[in-house]
Amino acid sequence: MKDNLPRIKSVYDSTYDGYDELYGEEQLIKYTMALRRIKLKGRILDVGCGTGLLLEFLESQALFSDVEKYVCLDISEGMLSLAFKRSKRLCKGKCLNVLGDALHLPFPEESFDFTLSFTVLDLLNKPLMGLKEMLRVTREAVVISLLTRLKNWTDFLRFGKEIGRTDKDVILLFNVKQALDGYLRKSIP
């Protein structure tokens, strides 16, 4: 399979300054939907954090008070430069920005309580490997939003089987444009 990482990186490196205006509103809806049932606390990893919109959302909704550490990871220097500005403004020493690849997360096993990743998995060459990596570094729950790859519960279970057993929660939010109620929470049996 052809590695699409250089292309993805170059797309985001050349369009990062228009991202918030184009997608900001849509992403806020996803964050609200996905995070309404969990209480974030401890160490949080944001995989493919982009410009740091999620960080800003959490801070604006007072969802940041029990967060001890917030790590933004992205492959695009352009996107991460904006996340860096945001974290400097909002984070008061809790935030770290890391340039890195979702398929090779540079963190030890279970080093985060929650991993969040919005609209990233679909972009990866190997989405399963991406999810496995997120589960590896997470203790409690992985929260992801997808655009297209999984469309229903059966797909999710199939996806789950390929991942293998875990007692960690995987919270999926599907394309909000098509199905606002496409929200699933499941421990993979």
* Burial call 98-123: b when 16+ CB within 10 Å, e when fewer: bebbbbebebeeebbbbbbbbbbbeb
CB under 6 A: which stretch of 74-82, 150-158, 163-171, 175-183 binds ligand SAM?
A: 74-82
Binding mask 23-62 for ligand SAM (x = CB under 6 A): ----x--------------------xxx--xx--------
Closest to 20 (Cα-Cα) out of 96, 94, 78, 88 = 78
In the bound state with ligand SAM, the residue whose beta carbon lies nearer, of 5 and 38, is 5
Q: Point out the residue whose Cβ comes nearest to ligand SAM.
A: 50
Does position 135 bind ligand SAM by CB under 6 A? no
Within residues 154-183, the interface with ligand SAM by CB under 6 A covers none
What φ, ψ does residue 100 adopt, rounded to 5°? -170, 175
Q: ∠106-159-38 over CA atoms, to 5°?
A: 65
Taking the CA atoms of residue 133, residue 119, residue 147 and residue 67 in that order, the dihedral angle to the nearest 10 degrees is 80
In the bound state with ligand SAM, the residue whose beta carbon lies nearer, of 48 and 160, is 48
Alpha helix segments (H runs only) across 36-166: 53-60, 77-90, 127-136, 153-163
Q: How far is Cα 108 from Cα 106, in angstroms, rounded to an integer?
A: 7
Q: Could you say which of 59, 74, 113, 133 contacts ligand SAM (CB under 6 A)? A: 74
Residue pointed to by tokens 């057993």: 165
Q: Could you say which of 79, 143, 172, 173 contacts ligand SAM (CB under 6 A)? A: 79
Residue type, 8: I
In the bound state with ligand SAM, the residue whose beta carbon lies nearer, of 98 and 157, is 98
Does position 5 bind ligand SAM by CB under 6 A? yes
Binding mask 95-134 for ligand SAM (x = CB under 6 A): ------xxx--------------xxx--xx----------
**Closest separation between CB of residue 76 and ligand SAM, Å?**
4
> With contact defined as beta carbons under 8 Å apart, do 133 and 103 qualify?
yes
Q: Which residues bind ligand SAM (CB under 6 A)?
A: 5, 8, 12, 27, 48-50, 53-54, 74-76, 79, 101-103, 118-120, 123-124
